[in-house]
Amino acid sequence: EVQLVESGGGLTQFGGSLRLSCGVSGFIFTGYNMNWVRQAPGKGLEWVSNIRSDTGATGYADSVKGRFTVSRDDVKNSLYLQMNSLRAEDTAVYYCARDNHWSSDIWGQGTMVTVSS
Amino acid sequence: QSALTQPPSVSGSPGQSVTISCTGISSDGGGYYHVSWYQQPPGTAPKLIIYEVTNRPSGVPDRFSGSKSGTTASLTISGLQAEDEADYYCCSCTSSSSWVFGGGTKLTVL
């Protein structure tokens, strides 16, 4: 079964850091680019970051550039998002998603990140 | 890329058709528009229902269809069913480092 499972969310203070993980199973991880997408409570979806499978090149939304770092471990079949200098507006459910045909075709269940002031 | 514009809400009765628009899409510079649509029932993760403007993933009913005219993409749901009630989001990808979602549209089945 194709599955993405996020972990690492939780409550942290303004200016703090968290590292999210996304474990992958059921498909060849090295064959796919991967995305992080977030959703603030009661709000819409916001693309956060992605990472290519071939070159490891990364992309970030302007709102997180310089604070968040995406990475992947192809041996552990895992995707990561290091989040530093967290702000209240980073409070959201964070989803990892597989990139296929310029779309996100498989999504995890999400992990909640809460930044308190 | 600027945010994409969707109507906040649409509604329809069972059996009817509804169309959700998504304005402000951009090409990737090579003339290709990478537009996708997602369905998100309350409390669940988004689900891909349309990719590359018009294509349906396996398992998505053919009641769901996508189209594009100029810089506006559209999602049409025909034969509306109660289970279609959800939030719907469009997404446009112009490069591997620039993805933008629309604000979302709440579909109510009357």
Smallest Cα distance from B14 to chain A, Å: 26
Find chain B residues with C-beta within 8 A of A96's C-beta: none
pLDDT, tens only, B10-31: 999 999 999 999 999 888 777 7
- Percent of chain B past pLDDT 90, that is, above it, reads 80
Burial class (CB in 10 A: 0-12, 13-18, 19+), A54: exposed
Lowest mean pLDDT among A68-77, B69-78, B86-95: B86-95
- Mean pLDDT, chain B, whole residue set: 93
Decide the pairing of beta strands A33-39 and A92-100: antiparallel
pLDDT at B27: 81
Residue A6, C-beta contacts closer than 8 angstroms, at least 6 positions apart: A20, A21, A22, A94, A95, A96, A108, A109, A110, A111
Q: Where do we find the tokens 């059996």? A: B15
Contact A58 B51 (CB under 8 A): no
Interface test with A, best of B97, B98, B100 (most A CBs within 10 A): B97
For chain A, list the strands marked E by DSSP. 3-7, 10-13, 18-25, 33-39, 45-51, 58-60, 68-73, 78-83, 92-100, 103-107, 111-116
pLDDT at B1: 61
Interval A54-69 mean pLDDT: 95
Confidence of residue B53 (pLDDT cuts 50, 70, 90): very high
Bridge partner residues of A68 (DSSP)? A83
CB A107 within 8 A of CB B45: yes
Contact A44 B48 (CB under 8 A): no
Is the per-residue pLDDT at B97 higher than 80?
no
Confidence of residue B72 (pLDDT cuts 50, 70, 90): very high
Interface membership of A58 toward B (CB under 8 Å):
yes
Confidence of residue B63 (pLDDT cuts 50, 70, 90): very high
pLDDT at B98: 80
Q: Which of A19, A1, A13 is nearest to A71 (CA)?
A: A19
Confidence of residue A94 (pLDDT cuts 50, 70, 90): very high
Smallest Cα distance from B23 to chain A, Å: 16
